[in-house]
Structure 1
Amino acid sequence: MWRGIRDEPRRFTVAVVGSCLFGSLVIGQAFVVGEIIQDVVEPALAPGGSVTTRALVLSALALIAMGLGRVLGIFGRRLGAGFMQFALQARYRHEVTGRYLRLPLSWHQRHATGTLLSNANSDVEAAWMPVAPLPFAVGTVFMLLVAVTALFLVDWAMALVGLVVFPVLFAMNVVFSRRMAPRTARAQHLRAEVSAIAHESFDGALVVKTMGREDLETRRFEARAWELRDALISVGRLRGLFDPLMESLPFLGTLAALVVGAWRLQVGAIDLGQLIQVTFLFTVLAFPVRAIGWVLGDLPRAVAGWDRVERVLEATGEMPYGTAGATGTGPAQLSFQQVNFSYDTGEPVLHNVSFTIPAGKTVALVGPTGSGKSTIATLATRLLDPQHGSVALDGVDVRELSSGALAGSVALVPQIAFVFDDTVRGNVALDRPGADDDRVWQSLTTAQADTFVTRLPDGLDTALGERGTSLSGGQRQRVTLARALAGQPRLLILDDATSAVDPRVEARILASLRGASHAASILVVAYRRATIALADEVIYVEQGRVIAHGTHDELLSTVTGYADLVTAYEKAEAERERDTGYDDSDESAVREEEVAA
């Protein structure tokens, strides 16, 4: 809470001033009402009594002034607290999201997406929930101090009632908070688990449906949802026990004050007006004292939420960018020097990897599954940093480049094509400066996507649906490639990015990339022999090591493992065609044309 006050001092001050104004006028109103009853109402009701018009007018004006002052106090308190709460929630949502962007890919791989969504949303919201009643509670503490002082000025015996009631209220809140904390922490944890399961099921909807796992996923989600329900019921039961006690205690204090006050009135220690003042004061204090309970009631959940948010904000492994700008305007040279890398499992993935991709050349990266090809592509884009060695662009370590220089020079087209729930234009242009329709069409043409986009109902304005569900796999890959090309990168990395595309279309794509007006160096992770043969050079890797580096023909004749790997795909395709009697690539092309139509 103190951190929130430091972040929003002005709004907190406005809210506290409004709350203190409200509290002061509540106490003042108790004394005004007591004086009115003593000096106006009692004489008017006495036998033969009367009251002057001036006294009535002054009494009415006093009550109206008190009411208007309380209204102003409520406005200041609620507006200040509301703005403060929502500003803090917005600030820390931005901070959590910004932290996500700065943390390395390896950190994200250790945390479920649903948990990350919960951290940025419900946890941040829970962390600052007590901010809304906090200024009211601060004003209430001020009001209680003034009230106790006023009670002693009126009568010490009745003040002792207040000294008993108010500490009991605080003690009850402390007990409540200690019992509530573990319950709310568990509820917050289960919220994240439910979110994670739901996200995973939605994300894998295709697998869930095709494998007939709907019932299993439903039961998995249901089990956690019922656990969350039970946790929230436990929270509600404790709150249901606590709230009535907190509500009744001030009224029991009022009753006790009336009993003691009646005795003091009988012995002549106080007059009727003072009795009214004290009992009215106990009555009006019942509601404000609840603000302290609201703060303490929200604190356990806030602590649980803040702990989860703070773990994100204090996470280590940030990959800061440098300040160096782009080193050129033409195709870039990429070089790996003695690069070693391992993931959190500790098993080395790359061992002393060294190679150079000359500017303007197309280099194929070939190797068996698990040999480290995708890791090399990830390091080249600086989604990860090597533990040892360096990755350089035109001789400059990528860790020294600024964010804009790196993003403007290198583009990665990953294995799994991702399409936003947007139009074709929105997916390709991404609102980048200079990415007008001419560049979009040029990128689509180079990616061999212009033909099917032209056939879409609204062309560039066609909405592609969530994750591009209206497109085939090959079409999604070509749209993703066009997106990368629209940024006019100097180094283009294709991580098996055309695996769902017909081999002949793939060959045309590579030929278009070579002849593009904005040429780029190309690193392509490839399996097909026809694709590999189009590359100027080939880098062959096994078990995280560079085994050979040369032309396709050289490696085919000198490296047995390379020859076995690149011919295995052709053999499998030939056997499939012989057994089934049709060409799978032709079917793929026909299907894409049908989808486009």
Structure 2
Amino acid sequence: MASRTSRDVLLRGLWVLGQGIREQPGLFTLGVGGSVVFGLLTIASAYVVGAIVGDVVVPSIETGQIEDGLLAAGGAALLAVSVVKVVGIFGRRLGAGFMQYRLQASYRRRVTRRYLDLPMSWHQRHPTGTLLSNANSDVEATWFPVAPLPFAVGTVVMLFTAIAALFATDWVLAMVGLAVFPALFTLNVVYSRRMAPRQVRAQRLRAEVSGIAHESFDGALVVKTMGREAEETVRFADRAAELRDALISVGRLRGMFDPLLETLPSLGTLAVLMVGAVRLQQGAVSIADLVSVAFLFTVLAFPVRAIGWVLAELPRSVAGWDRLRHVLTATGEMPYGDTELPVTATSPADLVFDRVWFSYRPPAADTVGPATADPATAVSGPDPAADPTAVATATTVLPPVLRDVSFTVPAGRTVALVGPTGSGKSTIAALAARLVDPTGGRIAVDGVDVRELTAESLARTVALVAQVPFVFDDTVRANVNLDRTGLTDESAWSALRLAEADGFVAALDGGLDTMVGERGTTLSGGQRQRLTLARALAGRPRLLVLDDATSAVDPRVEAAILAALRAAEVATSILVVAYRRATIALADEVVYLDQGRVVDHGTHQQLLARCPGYADLVTAYEQAEAERERDRAGGPASGGPSLTAEVTA
């Protein structure tokens, strides 16, 4: 079984290299051409040295005289061979280097494009650290054997030529070569088979270490505030120790085989000298022949290692390719339609949820093997609206998050989504912006199913501001405009004013040119939220979805933002996930959710009067807000400012 697995790794590794050759045939030809020239000139140099020793050095020693003409001819021959060898080395390295780096660049772009094509549901199931490893370490591992590949191919040509030259020189010495060369190849094959499982494990552990590191760094605030530094250090150290041990195992095996691979050519040289001495006494060969063959074995030692380098890296290449293929062949992309909403439309858009169901898939258990049939979309099969049990009985998804949800956001109106934690508010926000598609039912903007809209039309019409603001490590201007066509400094300031962010931006030393740091570390939580809101508003969306996007903003500022958004100059409809009573009261209609269902909808006052669950929830929110206000003021109930107040500030 182990032998079959190793053979499969060898064949699959050669297939991966073949894929690279098919994609970069010109550079491969250049590299192999240079390698063949180098190999043939290496053989030629052995016979040139032999001829110089036999025809120049030995006669000079015997006669005590040096013939200047022969000496000059020998030197010229060595110089010519060396110059052509240098040209071959240049061609080999140029072709191999360009081929390797072009393939790596190409596949990094392919992986990145695939990440952009795959929906959020796929990304939610795969750790970010693993995805970073796919785009970096796995791509590098896949095409690492390309660097020595042209050298190895040229070496094979050189070996066959060398064996033919040996037979032309003396068949007995050729038999010595036939014994050494297969031994070298066999040793390389054994080396590759032993190395395969070690390289695969090391590559997997690289991704796991990357994933743990990214998770710890990304959650630095939680780690520090919860005092989990020691535990995170231990968790990372344990996996890093596994990676260390795996790499030591790789190095130990390499340390065992490298001396053997170095020794065999030297033993071949020794055998040639011993057998050649006998053949020389018999008169079967000349001194020039013996020197040429011995020198040939000496110079062949290094090129033959190139074959071992390729074979040794094939297991790692296969492991990297499998991980890349998991991404490149992943299904579940969200195809867009070809319907365009009017580009010139300046009126607000309406949004309709019609009997929408949704279920998440569980996180991916294995990100190394082949892609599943559909790892991204929520569910395929019967429409749960027609058969509600279809979701509940599906074995590949979690229980439904949304159940038969229907509501409307009329054009130009503001609708607030209110509900307890886990009721599905953020899922509705993601569905409205089509970050995910519903399991069943229909979501329409201006009467058109969002799945029928083009990507450009959807992005131009709908903007989502998420709960957790993300700010790029760039200037304020770049964060607001995002290099979108037609957005100027004037539009950036206009969006900042609507988001009540123009004041603090104007107070910054550089204004729009101020660098805000990674994830906006130089800004407060409320400032980051207002900056991301301005980013969404800069595109003048006709439907704005706010997923609790002003939770870190002072209530008075939040009220000013919502009032500005409702002004006549802003042609947008608003769907806002809200919990503050003041925010909810500004909405034209409130949709109350509980356990993934629409329990009731109407105005704030209507729901307070007829929906006990809604009244209790809003009252609880209001009491919590009052507590926070007392904390900000340092009231007697709090004993000083709370952590919540500090974060909000």
What is the Cα deviation at residue 137 of structure 1?
A: 0.2
Mapped to 2, the partners of 1:572 and 1:193 lie a distance apart of 41
Q: Is the 8 A contact 2:608 2:615 kept in 1?
A: yes
One-letter amino acid of the structure 1 residue matched with residue 117 of structure 2 = R
Which residue does 2:135 correspond to in 1? 120
Match of 2:335 among 310, 320, 326: 320
* Cα distance per residue 1:128-178 (max 9 Å; x no partner): 111100000000001001111111111111111111111111111111111
Match of 1:45 among 61, 74, 79: 61
- Residue pairs, 1:152-191, within 5 angstroms: 152-191=167-206
Match of 1:473 among 504, 525, 531: 525
Match of 1:570 among 600, 618, 622: 622
With over 3 angstroms needed to count, the CA separation of the structure-2 counterparts of 1:322 and 1:578, relative to structure 1, is: closer
Mapped to 2, the partners of 1:461 and 1:159 lie a distance apart of 74
Task: Identify the range of structure 1 (488-497 vs 261-270) with the bigger mean alpha-carbon deviation.
Answer: 261-270
With over 3 angstroms needed to count, the CA separation of the structure-2 counterparts of 1:2 and 1:594, relative to structure 1, is: closer
Whether 2:495 is the aligned partner of 1:443: answer yes
With over 3 angstroms needed to count, the CA separation of the structure-2 counterparts of 1:20 and 1:578, relative to structure 1, is: closer
Q: Is the 8 A contact 1:474 1:592 kept in 2?
A: no
What is the Cα deviation at residue 49 of structure 1?
A: 5.6
Match of 1:524 among 570, 576, 579: 576
- Residue pairs, 1:452-531, within 5 angstroms: 452-515=504-567, 517-531=569-583
Which residue does 1:30 correspond to in 2? 46
With over 3 angstroms needed to count, the CA separation of the structure-2 counterparts of 1:48 and 1:173, relative to structure 1, is: closer
What is the Cα deviation at residue 48 of structure 1?
A: 6.0
Which residue does 1:374 correspond to in 2? 426
Q: Is the 8 A contact 1:577 1:583 kept in 2?
A: no
Mapped to 1, the partners of 2:481 and 2:87 lie a distance apart of 51
Q: Is the 8 A contact 2:553 2:648 kept in 1?
A: no
Mapped to 1, the partners of 2:443 and 2:105 lie a distance apart of 37
Which residue does 2:390 correspond to in 1? none
Mapped to 2, the partners of 1:583 and 1:13 lie a distance apart of 79
Mapped to 1, the partners of 2:622 and 2:103 lie a distance apart of 60
Q: Is the 8 A contact 1:472 1:592 kept in 2?
A: no
Match of 1:108 among 114, 123, 136: 123
Mapped to 1, the partners of 2:419 and 2:408 lie a distance apart of 17
**Structure 2 SS opposite 1:327:** coil
Match of 1:236 among 235, 251, 260: 251
Which residue does 1:68 correspond to in 2? 83
With over 3 angstroms needed to count, the CA separation of the structure-2 counterparts of 1:575 and 1:211, relative to structure 1, is: closer
Q: Which runs of 5+ in 1 are unaligned?
A: none
Which residue does 2:273 correspond to in 1? 258
**Structure 1 SS opposite 2:401:** strand
With over 3 angstroms needed to count, the CA separation of the structure-2 counterparts of 1:571 and 1:56, relative to structure 1, is: closer
Q: Which runs of 5+ in 2 are unaligned?
A: 1-16, 362-396
Mapped to 2, the partners of 1:211 and 1:520 lie a distance apart of 41
Which residue does 2:37 correspond to in 1? 21
Which residue does 1:11 correspond to in 2? 27
Mapped to 2, the partners of 1:116 and 1:133 lie a distance apart of 27
Mapped to 1, the partners of 2:541 and 2:209 lie a distance apart of 40
Task: Identify the range of structure 1 (74-83 vs 226-235) with the bigger mean alpha-carbon deviation.
Answer: 226-235
Task: Identify the range of structure 1 (546-555 vs 244-253) with the bigger mean alpha-carbon deviation.
Answer: 546-555
What is the Cα deviation at residue 378 of structure 1?
A: 0.5
Aligned length: 592
Mapped to 1, the partners of 2:453 and 2:27 lie a distance apart of 40
Mapped to 1, the partners of 2:284 and 2:626 lie a distance apart of 110
Match of 1:338 among 355, 366, 370: 355
Task: Identify the range of structure 1 (372-381 vs 563-572) with the bigger mean alpha-carbon deviation.
Answer: 563-572
**Structure 1 SS opposite 2:227:** coil
Q: Is the 8 A contact 1:124 1:306 kept in 2?
A: yes
What is the Cα deviation at residue 45 of structure 1?
A: 2.4
With over 3 angstroms needed to count, the CA separation of the structure-2 counterparts of 1:136 and 1:577, relative to structure 1, is: closer
What is the Cα deviation at residue 50 of structure 1?
A: 5.2
Whether 2:596 is the aligned partner of 1:544: answer yes
Match of 1:192 among 196, 204, 207: 207
What is the Cα deviation at residue 339 of structure 1?
A: 1.6
What is the Cα deviation at residue 520 of structure 1?
A: 1.0
**Structure 1 SS opposite 2:63:** coil
Which residue does 1:395 correspond to in 2? 447
With over 3 angstroms needed to count, the CA separation of the structure-2 counterparts of 1:565 and 1:50, relative to structure 1, is: closer
Mapped to 2, the partners of 1:97 and 1:577 lie a distance apart of 45
One-letter amino acid of the structure 1 residue matched with residue 611 of structure 2 = V
One-letter amino acid of the structure 2 residue matched with residue 30 of structure 1 = A
**Structure 2 SS opposite 1:348:** coil
Whether 2:237 is the aligned partner of 1:222: answer yes
Task: Identify the range of structure 1 (477-486 vs 315-324) with the bigger mean alpha-carbon deviation.
Answer: 315-324
With normalisation by structure 1, the TM-score equals 0.95
* Cα distance per residue 1:271-311 (max 9 Å; x no partner): 11111121111111111001111111222222222222221
Runs of 4+, deviation exceeding 4 Å? 574-580, 590-595
**Structure 1 SS opposite 2:541:** coil
